[in-house]
Amino acid sequence: MKSLSFDIVIVGHGAAGLTAAQAAAEATALGRRLSIAVIERAAKGKHGGNTRFTPCYMRMETPGRLSPEFLSEMISVSGGRNDVAYFDRLAREAPDTMGWLQAHGIEFHTPDYYLSVGPARIQPIGGGESIVRELTRAAETAGVHFLYEHEAQTLIRAADGTIMGLVARQSGRDQDILADAVILACGGFQGNSGMLEEHFGLGGSSLVPISPGTRLNTGAGIRMALETGASRSGDWQGMHIEPIDPRACNPAPVVLVYPYGIVVDQTGERFCDEGAGLVHETWEQFARSIHFDTPGRQVYAILDSRLNEIKDFGRAIRSEVPPYEAQTLVQLAQLIQVPPDELERTVLAYNAACVGDPKRFNASVKDGLASDPALVPAKSNWARALDRPPFYAWPLVGAIAYTFGGIATDLDGRVLGAVGAIPGLYAAGEITGHFHGTAPNAVSVLRALVYGRAAGRCAVRDVDPDSA
Ligand SMILES: Cc1cc2nc3c(=O)[nH]c(=O)nc-3n(C[C@H](O)[C@H](O)[C@H](O)COP(=O)(O)OP(=O)(O)OC[C@H]3O[C@@H](n4cnc5c(N)ncnc54)[C@H](O)[C@@H]3O)c2cc1C
């Protein structure tokens, strides 16, 4: 097959790839035209990766402003391990990046989050899908080529290590795509069962992807970069994972009302403090423990009719399937095939430990309505008795959204190897490892946008120094 040739090739059609492509197209010197291509493994219409399926909450007070605590929160969420310089540039460039997106027709609002109040967040109207749609339109207008159903396989290197392009597979045939700069924006390794097992241990390979876009990110870009000498970065034992309803067919069917009831495993026993924190503070650890620590890797959130008293509680339930419902706990246990005696015993013990004044219940904040200290595991907030039928049960499994381990980059998106930047190679978004411990809430898209743009501009400066 004849080889193709471009000045800049970007791998991946999500937030990072699209911002890189559009920024590169705009950075090209007046009167010149760099040829830029985005290659995407999915078919047209299925493109957009994780970005397409995200509600796309972004941790900003308005499109022009971040909270003054942003930087310190980014560091504390990782126990001090996240890189200050990386998040500092993110904070400094986020407002300008949002303004740039607005200029490309993306509108923002301040959304209602699930139920719990947390850091301020903005959201593009239409979620991540609007980012994919509007930036694709802008990039097509700017002359960027889009090659769908092209799956990047390996990077092509010159003898001195400079990246000269890549090999992509289309309809079972390999094709060389030559380029002066390659920007990898093709996500983490959440769609690769072998890598999940290797880095998360037994059970990693059976993790369910949270959306159809999630499974496309198989770590190919990470592998390709490592093969050329890129350094690793980020927390290779870290992932973002959320509790979903396994019965649902809609993407990302999260069920986030578990803090207001109890959660039992398949033997009918509680196994965690359901009210340890606001939902975005606990979901990752909670979903991980469902998958890795409970028999059968499936549990049940149990609630009663008091749920209906929580204003707008439906915001926290994205499953299209109604819960199991019964007038008695025994009937409910039969529906979900949990031992009825055990479920009854667990609920009665929990109810007896709900000793606080239920009038203090407030779903939006940590209300301090804690269980009696004798209850093990404790319930630190929202401990109200479950005694008002009907009773509800949602089955929950842990579903992976993205991984944290990736490749090292400098602040301009150049991929770093043992002795500095690898000439001709750039990366942005999930593929870069910059998160440690717990995912900072509502930051993954933001960093894909800011650093995708930085990588696109840097690639143009390197390929065509006159453009700077
Ligand atoms: C359900 C869900 C909810 C989320 N909610 C939020 C949220 O509210 N806020 C937030 O900040 N983050 C959220 N995230 C995370 C966030 O969406 C992603 O981390 C971010 O969009 C990643 O952008 P990206 O461009 O790096 O990767 P992606 O958007 O995943 O794009 C990667 C692209 O690369 C393509 N690709 C992969 N391998 C190859 C290959 N070998 N060759 C060619 N193409 C390839 C894929 O098909 C895909 O199109 C959520 C994620 C999900 C799934």
What local confidence, expressed as pLDDT, does residue 30 receive?
A: 66
Q: Are residues 410 and 395 in the same domain?
A: no
Closest ligand 1 atom to the C-alpha of 18? 25
Whether the pLDDT of residue 393 is over 80: the answer is: yes
51 lines ligand 1 (CB under 6 A): yes
- How far, in Å, is the centroid of ligand 1 from the Cα of 284? 18
Q: Are residues 231 and 250 in the same domain?
A: no
Q: Flag whether the pTM goes above 0.95.
A: yes
Tokens of 333: 């246990």
Q: Are residues 234 and 245 in the same domain?
A: no
What local confidence, expressed as pLDDT, does residue 29 receive?
A: 61
Q: What is the distance between the alpha carbons of residues 444 and 43, in angstroms, rounded to a whole number? A: 24
Q: Are residues 86 and 221 in the same domain?
A: yes
Choice from 40, 108, 131, 445 to test ligand 1 binding pocket (greatest atom count within 8 A of CB): 445
Q: What is the distance between the alpha carbons of residues 173 and 325, in angstroms, rounded to a whole number? A: 52
Q: Please identify, among 399, 420, 452, the residue that sits at the C-terminal boundary of a domain.
A: 399
What local confidence, expressed as pLDDT, does residue 291 receive?
A: 98
Tens digit of each residue's pLDDT (9 = 90 or more) over 107-121 = 999 988 888 888 899
What local confidence, expressed as pLDDT, does residue 242 receive?
A: 98
Tokens of 129: 């899908």
Q: What is the distance between the alpha carbons of residues 225 and 231, in angstroms, rounded to a whole number? A: 8
Q: Are residues 80 and 229 in the same domain?
A: yes
| Lowest-confidence segment of 63-72, 111-120, 173-182, 363-372 by average pLDDT | 111-120
Q: What is the distance between the alpha carbons of residues 79 and 110, in angstroms, rounded to a whole number? A: 29
Q: What is the distance between the alpha carbons of residues 63 and 359, in angstroms, rounded to a whole number? A: 37
Q: Which residues contact 247 (CB under 8 A, 6 or more apart)?
A: 319, 321, 395
What local confidence, expressed as pLDDT, does residue 113 receive?
A: 85
Number of structural domains found in the chain: 2
Q: Which residues contact 1 (CB under 8 A, 6 or more apart)?
A: 173, 174, 175
Whether the pLDDT of residue 162 is over 90: the answer is: yes
Closest ligand 1 atom to the C-alpha of 452? 25
Choice from 10, 154, 444, 449 to test ligand 1 binding pocket (greatest atom count within 8 A of CB): 444
Q: Are residues 349 and 431 in the same domain?
A: no
Q: pLDDT band for 465, please (50, 70, 90 cuts).
A: confident
Tens digit of each residue's pLDDT (9 = 90 or more) over 206-250 = 999 999 999 999 999 999 999 999 999 999 999 999 999 999 999
Query: Which domain range does residue 367 map to?
Result: 241-399
Q: What share of the chain in percent tops pLDDT 70?
A: 99
Q: Are residues 204 and 269 in the same domain?
A: no
Q: Are residues 362 and 433 in the same domain?
A: no
Q: How far is CA 386 from the centre of its chain?
A: 33
Whether the pLDDT of residue 2 is over 90: the answer is: no
Over residues 171-199, the mean pLDDT reads 98
425 lines ligand 1 (CB under 6 A): no
Tokens of 181: 């700069």
50 lines ligand 1 (CB under 6 A): yes
Over residues 119-128, the mean pLDDT reads 96
Cα four-point dihedral sign 159, 188, 79, 74: positive
Look at ligand 1, atom 35, and give the residue with the nearest C-alpha: 12
Whether the pLDDT of residue 468 is over 80: the answer is: no
Tens digit of each residue's pLDDT (9 = 90 or more) over 25-46 = 998 866 677 999 999 999 999 9
Q: Please identify, among 346, 377, 399, the residue that sits at the C-terminal boundary of a domain.
A: 399
189 lines ligand 1 (CB under 6 A): no
242 lines ligand 1 (CB under 6 A): no
257 lines ligand 1 (CB under 6 A): no
Whether the pLDDT of residue 133 is over 90: the answer is: yes
Q: Are residues 395 and 254 in the same domain?
A: yes
What local confidence, expressed as pLDDT, does residue 466 receive?
A: 80
Closest ligand 1 atom to the C-alpha of 48? 49
Q: Which amino acid is located at 282 in the chain?
A: T
Phi-psi region at 229: left, alpha or beta (left = phi > 0; alpha = psi -120 to 50): left
- How far, in Å, is the centroid of ligand 1 from the Cα of 187? 6
Whether the pLDDT of residue 8 is over 70: the answer is: yes
Look at ligand 1, atom 3, and give the residue with the nearest C-alpha: 54
From the list 399, 190, 403, 438, the residue with the least C-alpha distance to 291 is 399
386 lines ligand 1 (CB under 6 A): no
Burial category of 158 from C-beta neighbours within 10 Å (exposed 0-12, middle 13-18, buried 19 and up): exposed
Tens digit of each residue's pLDDT (9 = 90 or more) over 425-445 = 999 999 999 999 999 999 999
Q: Are residues 177 and 309 in the same domain?
A: no
CATH of the domain at 279: 3.90.700.10
* Residue 141 backbone phi and psi in degrees, to 5: -65, -35
Q: pLDDT band for 400, please (50, 70, 90 cuts).
A: very high
What local confidence, expressed as pLDDT, does residue 194 receive?
A: 98
Is-cis flag, bond preceding 423, omega within 30? no
Q: Are residues 130 and 52 in the same domain?
A: yes
Q: What share of the chain in percent tops pLDDT 90?
A: 95
- How far, in Å, is the centroid of ligand 1 from the Cα of 128? 9
Q: Are residues 419 and 298 in the same domain?
A: no
Q: Please identify, among 380, 399, 418, the residue that sits at the C-terminal boundary of a domain.
A: 399
CB-based contact 35:193 (threshold 8 Å): no
CATH of the domain at 23: 3.50.50.60
